[in-house]
Amino acid sequence: MSQIKGPAIFLAQFMGDEPPYNTLPNITKWVKSLGYKAVQLPSWDSRIMDLKKAADSKSYCEDLKAQTNGLEITELASHLQGQLVASHPAYDELFDGFAEKEVQGNPKARAEWAVKQMKMVIKASANLGLNCTASFTGALLWPMMYPWPQRPGGLVEEGFKELARRWKPILDYADQFGVDIAYELHPGEDVFDGATFERFLEATGNHPRVNINYDPSHFVLQCMDYVGFIDIYGPRIKAFHVKDAEFRPSPRAGVYGGYLGWKERPGRFRSLGDGQVDFKQVFTRMTAAGYDKWAVLEWECCYKDSVQGATEGAPFIAAHLIDVPTKAFDDFAGGSTDAKKNRRILGLK
């Protein structure tokens, strides 16, 4: 059997106000018919769940699991709440829509709300029997991502120090419940690649709950070695978004995208199999790294409809799952260990 579990699907991009996308029973019935075995739930979507009730009540969580038509729950996603733990003032108005109305227009209250939300996600995860949440770090430094104007000495260090200060109480709380926070390394967050992940990890004192939601699509758009990334950070990868992307060099724009729409940008997210991610290598390296959790489709494509993307996604993931070998391919030529024989072969007495 494959040690990686799948296929699973992240429901956030498929939720809507009309059936079958409007309730947990309806949408899980639909995705189950497509061949999915598990779902990742957006913890912020009231059509899916009441987060406070899930944090307060194990019986509510049992009822929630009973609504999934037999599908497992992989993780609770907490990207929107994590985003608001740290936010530069330049984005205050843009990010207000992620929070409840009572804290909009009040950055301090909004950040406090986000911390409470993250703690509820952690407790709800534990009540559901889950040991991981996929999230974002938020960002204080992102407007200074490019080093012009020249950054004053110590600015980056101070930014990561403050980011870690805000997350440390959440991480400690997560540790009490045995829940990892798997940060999606994503442009727009202060932690968006391997180097920034290392900075954040160090700033938190190498906190054991600081981990990674691996998504190769964001690395394609940054022109990174997304396969080699697995070899380096494999032990910290606790969740996996299966999402495709392409980067096609242009004489008009590069990795920054020229403020173009998604269809015109050199870098675009695509449906599975339509982009440039080498998923055979990704699943191979994830298997080699010992990853044994869920492979979760995250659909984002500017060309293909979401229903077609979801329909094609389940068999695509299933076809890439690797059955772990029960014996070595060259076992037939092997023999028992004989120390004296080995020395003779080496020409030693």
Supply the DSSP string of 96-132, one letter for each residue: GGGS-GGGTT-HHHHHHHHHHHHHHHHHHHHHTT--E
- The β-bridge partners of 39 are 9, 73
Write the CATH number for 12: 3.20.20.150
What's the pLDDT at 65? 98
Question: What is the structure's pLDDT at 334?
Answer: 75
Q: Which domain holds residue 285?
A: 5-345
Structure tokens at 280: 């055979």
Q: How many Å apart are CA 122 and CA 52, to the nearest integer? A: 11
How many residues are recorded in the chain?
349
**Does the global pTM surpass 0.85?**
yes
How far, in Å, CA of 128 to CA of 277, rounded? 33
Task: Give me the helices (H) in the chain, please.
Answer: 24-33, 51-56, 58-65, 79-83, 92-95, 107-127, 155-177, 194-203, 216-220, 226-233, 279-288, 306-320, 339-345
Give helix then strand counts, H and E, for the chain: 13, 10
Beta strands 267-270; 244-247: pairing state:
antiparallel
Contact residues for 257 (Cβ-Cβ < 8 A; gap 6+): 265, 266, 267
Q: Which residues contact 182 (CB under 8 A, 6 or more apart)?
A: 75, 132, 133, 134, 135, 211, 212, 213, 237, 238, 239
Q: What is the dihedral of CA 342, 343, 346, 349, to 10 degrees?
A: -160
Mind listing the pLDDT tens digit for each residue in 237-248?
999 999 999 999
**Residue 275: closest CA among 214, 215, 220:** 220
- In a structure prediction context, what are the per-residue pLDDT tens digits for the chain, which is 349 residues long? 789 999 999 999 999 999 999 999 999 999 999 999 999 999 999 999 999 999 999 999 999 999 999 999 999 999 999 999 999 999 999 999 999 999 999 999 999 999 999 999 999 999 999 999 999 999 999 999 999 999 999 999 999 999 999 999 999 999 999 999 999 999 999 999 999 999 999 999 999 999 999 999 999 999 999 999 999 999 999 999 999 999 999 999 999 999 999 999 999 999 999 999 999 999 999 999 999 999 999 999 999 999 999 999 999 999 999 998 888 877 777 777 889 999 999 999 7
Taking only the tens place, the pLDDT of each residue in 277-299 is: 999 999 999 999 999 999 999 99
pLDDT at 326: 84
Q: What are phi and psi of 199, to 5 degrees?
A: -60, -45
pLDDT at residue 328, as a whole number: 80
Domain count, the chain: 1
Q: Which one-letter amino acid corresponds to residue 54? A: A
Are the C-beta atoms of 276 and 220 separated by less than 8 Å? Answer: yes
